Structure 1
């Protein structure tokens, strides 16, 4: 990673709640409000935005874990602001704490961990998983 990334750095993301962000399963809207799934996506996105300027050309970030506490609903058309703050820096990773607000009301909190790895390492990980999946399709009974 490039120099300059520090604990305490902040990045924000503003979104407007749309229908495609509603809580829904198999195409059926369960609640016409900002879903936990959408909140999780936006938490990962704001956390990624904070590291993008610091990635070297041979590096990429990968989500390692997400913790989400969805506190309160946010209605269609409302503006939601997500703010990520770096709380930990490691040789190969970043941890951010995220606060999610609708106006002055806290609607969510969370934490995102991202691993920063060489792109070729990630490709090798995917290749290993792909090879394993091919074996399982060829031998679905798992007889090794």
Structure 2
């Protein structure tokens, strides 16, 4: 890492709920709302962005844990802010408090953990696993 992430660093993703991120089972009775898998993804993107300036060119961060309560719906057209704040750094492992909200209320909150990795080492590990999966 170029610099060690520190408690208090933040990242944010702002999105609008639309056909690209809403539930797929909306119908005449179920109104279209932000889908939980997309909400979780945006929270992860916010966390990744919070520590990206700390990383070397050969490093990335990968999600290793997430626990999120999806507390309220966000209707189609709503503007949503997903935020992540570093709360703990333990070597290459960074823990975040995450929260999503719209203009009315908190939509989700939870904890997310990411690990800083060397992409070349990761790629080698993945190649070995691919070979094992292929029977080699």
Task: Using structure 1 for the length normalisation, give the TM-score.
Answer: 0.84
CA distance in 1, matches of 2:125, 2:65: 17
| 1:66 paired residue number | 66
Give the structure with the larger helix fraction: 1
| 2:56 paired residue number | 56
Q: CA deviation at 1:54?
A: 0.8
What is the aligned residue count? 133
> What RMSD over aligned residues (CA atoms) do the two structures have, in Å?
1.7
| 2:83 paired residue number | 83
Is contact 1:81-1:102 (8 Å) kept? yes
Q: Deviations over 1:53-99 (max 9, x none)?
A: 11112212111122121111000010101111001112112111111
| 2:42 paired residue number | 42
**Which consecutive unaligned segments of at least 5 residues does structure 1 have?**
139-144
Question: Larger radius of gyration, structure 1 or 2?
Answer: 1
**Which consecutive unaligned segments of at least 5 residues does structure 2 have?**
none
SS for the counterpart of 2:122 is helix
Q: CA deviation at 1:4?
A: 5.2
CA distance in 2, matches of 1:5, 1:114: 12
| 1:19 paired residue number | 19
